[in-house]
Amino acid sequence: MTQLDNNKLTQSVEELRQFSINLSRSIPLVRWVGYGLLMLTLFDLVQVFVPPGFMNPFWEFQTMGALVERVPVPLLGLALVFLGQAHRRGNWERRILTFLSWLSLLFGILFLLMIPLGVVNTMRINTANTAQISAEYTQQMSRAEQVKQQLNKASTEDIDSFLKSQGRSLDGKQPEEFKDQLLSQLTQTKQQMQTQYQAKRSNQRISLFKNSVKWNLGALVSGILFIYVWRLTRWTWRQQ
């Protein structure tokens, strides 16, 4: 090996040493960023759970979604906090890391337990939504049917009096012809209401099941990742 090669090798080793030193010095900053992300997650959890609405399927379902949507922040925070393992750690920090490690396991289990609850709440919400939409549709159809019955019973004088009260006239039409026109319009209105009812029920169901699939799969992935974090950070409590 020539002198030039030796100089290049020495220079490369020195650059790697300096890079390692600089990286080691930057680790505390990265860890504090991780602690900051975990604190922000705590503030988010307070906002999500206050006020609580346990046993309410709508609140539980939305809360599950909110938790799943916020998972990337605490996972990133944990990754930054545990960076470098035991390197340059104080005794006080090791106790915190042990707590965070077991907390990761707890969160992993809770996310996995949310999955059956999410499925059950999806079914309950779907039933409640269908009942509400059906009740509104039935009420609208009932009103339309009442109007139809009133029109069928209306006499020529009733129609004429009604039009005069509205400042309108038959415009050369016979009362029966005008009644048939109103009944035809009413039939079209009922058909439109039926179409809107079916579309609303379908769209609401699709939106609900899309969120359900997204959040339940998200809870599964989140639970696995939190448990994996606990598994990889067993050094925090094995060394104590």
Residues 41-60 have a mean pLDDT of 93
Q: Which two tokens stand for residue 20?
A: 């390692």
Per the prediction, the chain carries an average pLDDT of 84
Range(s) of the domain holding residue 81:
3-238
**Share above pLDDT 90 across residues of the chain, in percent, rounded to a whole number:** 53
Instruction: Inform me whether the pLDDT recorded for 5 exceeds 60.
Output: no
Residues 87-100 have a mean pLDDT of 84
**Domains in the chain, number:** 1
Report the pLDDT value the prediction gives residue 236, as an integer from 0 to 100.
86
Report the pLDDT value the prediction gives residue 240, as an integer from 0 to 100.
52
Phi-psi category of residue 85: left, alpha or beta, with phi > 0 → left and psi -120 to 50 → alpha: left
CB < 8 Å & 24+ apart, contacts of 130-137: 130/201, 130/205, 133/197, 133/200, 133/201, 133/204, 134/197, 134/201, 137/193, 137/194, 137/197
Report the pLDDT value the prediction gives residue 134, as an integer from 0 to 100.
92
Of the candidates 112, 127, 134, the residue with the CA atom closest to the CA atom of residue 217: 112
Total-model pTM: 0.82
Residues 84-109 have a mean pLDDT of 87
Number of H helices, E strands in the chain: 7, 0
